[in-house]
Amino acid sequence: MKKLFSIFVFGLIANFVQAQNIEPVYEKVDAMAEFPGGITEMINFIGQNLKYPKPAARANVTGKVFVKMIIEKDGSISSPKIVKGIGFGCDEEVMRVVGLMPKWSAARLDGKVVRSSMVMPVMFALDHKKSK
């Protein structure tokens, strides 16, 4: 009976792993994943959607937040994670904006669409001309 149970559990685990369709995530690819319209459109998107957190503005915090994310085969973004932050609400704001992004064009390796990871910097800089 224990042997039958063990085989059953092993079968369930194997089916679960297969159902998850776990595929590798590549860092080095032939063609990088791309935001719709390219880097210029990505900069525009971030500029239109990023809000300077009030605590960061009050403390004159500037710098770059680095977010690592996976671009899935369908172009969606998954598993965003701050790898270097600056605090004062900026890290959370980057996560919010990444969550708003449209689907990207997925990366390619050997002519096939693949999952890829990338680290994207997001700059926070105060515009003192606007505040005067």
Condensed to tens digits (0 to 9), the pLDDT of residues 44-74 reads 999 999 999 999 999 999 999 999 999 999 9
Note the pLDDT of residue 21.
59
pLDDT at 11 over 60: no
The C-alpha atoms of residue 104 and residue 101 are separated, in whole angstroms, by 8
- Residue showing tokens 């449209």: 102
Supply 27's token pair. Answer: 């860092």
Give the model confidence (pLDDT) of 87-123 as tens digits. 999 999 999 999 999 999 999 999 999 999 999 999 9
Structure confidence at residue 127 as a pLDDT band (50, 70, 90) = confident
Evaluated on CA atoms 71, 75, 80, 82, the torsion sign reads positive
Residue numbers of the domain that contains 86: 25-125
Structure confidence at residue 3 as a pLDDT band (50, 70, 90) = low
Cβ(53)–Cβ(93) below 8 Å: yes
Residue 98 within any structural domain of the chain: yes
Residue 95 within any structural domain of the chain: yes
Residue-wise burial string across 40-62, b where 16 or more C-beta atoms lie within 10 A, e elsewhere = eebeebbeeebebbeebbeeebe
Within 8 A by CB and 6+ apart from 30, the residues are: 107, 108, 109, 110, 111
Q: What is the CATH classification number for the domain harbouring 37?
A: 3.30.2420.10
Give the total number of structural domains in the chain: 1
Cβ(45)–Cβ(101) below 8 Å: yes
- Which amino acid is residue 26, in one-letter code? Y
Percent share of the chain, pLDDT over 90: 78
